[in-house]
Amino acid sequence: MNTDAFTAHESNVRRYCRAFPTVFTKALGATIWDETGKPFIDFLVGSGALNYGHNNPNILIPAIEYLVGENILLSLDMYTAAKRDFIEAFVDCILKPRGLSYKIQFPGPTGTNANEAALALARKYTGRSSVMAFTNAYHGMSLGSLAVSGSASTREQGGVARHDVIRVPYDGYPSQTFDSASYIDHVLGDPGSGIEKPAAIILEPIQAEGGMNTASAPWLSEIQRICRKHGVILIVDDVQAGAGRTGHFFSFEFAKIEPDIVCLSKSLSGSGSPLSIVLIRPDLDIWKPGEHSGTFRGNNFAFVTAGAMCKLWSDRQFTAGVERTAVKLQTHLDRLVAKFPRYIEQKRGRGLMAGLKCRSQAVVGRVHDVAFENGLLIESSGPNRDVIKVLPPITISDDELDHGIAILNQALQEQDNA
């Protein structure tokens, strides 16, 4: 295994290669191989950017046909047939069946681009500058997204001061006995609170990087009611939790809410190709032409794969399979929690976006290392890195899922020998 080129020439900022010190060469479904031929079950999936697995043929075959046809690859925001096909598929297969109506904005291709656009539009629409954001939130690595993120180590990035953010407690923070929604409602309605009315509230229904903290349906519904009561725009960052990760396409569906703005990226393309969109309540769409831009907002390869991904959600056999796999994963994790109470405090997350809150960062570190040695890719999350993230592809086969869980079980079992 030759890593000389990376160590000699790649920046110190590289991260995942340090956690997984091998050279990968190919992947299919939930399995990825290194150049020695060793297979690994992938419970990392590009940090949630490959929900549909590696090289899913239902998604890639239309794209391969597109590539060999001398078709448009980059189009800025010009009209193309691929873009039209994606918009129609997204509306027909995703929005309409859920009774949702949004305008679709194509910003730059990453999640943080989508969040920056959403924040800018909320401020433009309301004329207010501050944004209310939550403890342990993570919204991206550009300055506006960093400002509304919760982790101290994250917010220190960028090297400049970030203002106009009101930090409030997430659901269940600092404990389940505290009603953070009522607190937010009170301070927004109390002229003596010292907290000005924000342009928007931005939230993740599941805080992936924050420790797999999960908002309840009543809490999400109450936050939406509070936003409407006080004239505040509700932005849902569904970058990591969306595009099918929780078992529904949108992670907020279970709460039966309709956010004013929704940000999607990561697995939106279904292929790992960069793509993001901002879904905007029609009356909020007050952008002037060209007012918000991004050179790579016209990634037509991603439009093709995203369109194929959307069509999967019209296939009842596919959606039933996702639901069944989510139940299977949750059952597996319940057994691990019951089996290893010395190391695991609780299960977190929902559907196929799951986590195991461990009793220390050291436990997670040892589990990570043993799992990697035995052929499983996992990562940690949370402010103390004491949560094991479990993110298999939503299309994972039963055999791959069982094998991955068996490796995780063994890694936990070996804690006794540490």
DSSP class of residue 2 equals -
Mean pLDDT of 200-217: 96
- Contact between 239 and 263 under an 8 Å Cβ cutoff? The reply is yes
3-state secondary structure 163-207: CCEEEECCCCCCCCCCCHHHHHHHHHHCCCCCCCCCCEEEECCEE
pLDDT over threshold 90, residue 45: yes
Q: 3-state DSSP call for residue 25?
A: strand
- Contact between 40 and 32 under an 8 Å Cβ cutoff? The reply is yes
Contacts of 194 (CB under 8 A, 6+ apart): none
- Contact between 382 and 211 under an 8 Å Cβ cutoff? The reply is yes
pLDDT over threshold 80, residue 161: no
Alpha-carbon span 363 to 341, nearest angstrom: 12
| Amino acid identity at 169 | P
pLDDT value for 6? 92
Higher pLDDT, 301 or 417: 301
pLDDT value for 157? 59
pLDDT value for 221? 98
Quick check: bond before 174 cis, omega within 30? yes
> pTM of the predicted model, to two decimals?
0.95
pLDDT value for 154? 57
109-134 pLDDT, tens per residue?
Answer: 999 999 999 999 999 999 999 999 99
Give how far Cα 187 sits from Cα of 132, 198, 390, Å: 12, 11, 36
Mean of the per-residue pLDDT values of the chain:
94
Lowest mean pLDDT among 32-36, 160-164, 314-318: 160-164
Pick from 195, 202, 147: nearest CA to 170 = 202
pLDDT value for 151? 67
Banded pLDDT at 191 (limits 50, 70, 90):
very high
Alpha-carbon span 29 to 205, nearest angstrom: 27
pLDDT value for 289? 95
71-119 pLDDT, tens per residue?
Answer: 999 999 999 999 999 999 999 999 999 999 999 999 999 999 999 999 9
262-272 pLDDT, tens per residue?
Answer: 999 999 999 99
Banded pLDDT at 146 (limits 50, 70, 90):
confident
- Contact between 209 and 138 under an 8 Å Cβ cutoff? The reply is yes
Banded pLDDT at 162 (limits 50, 70, 90):
low
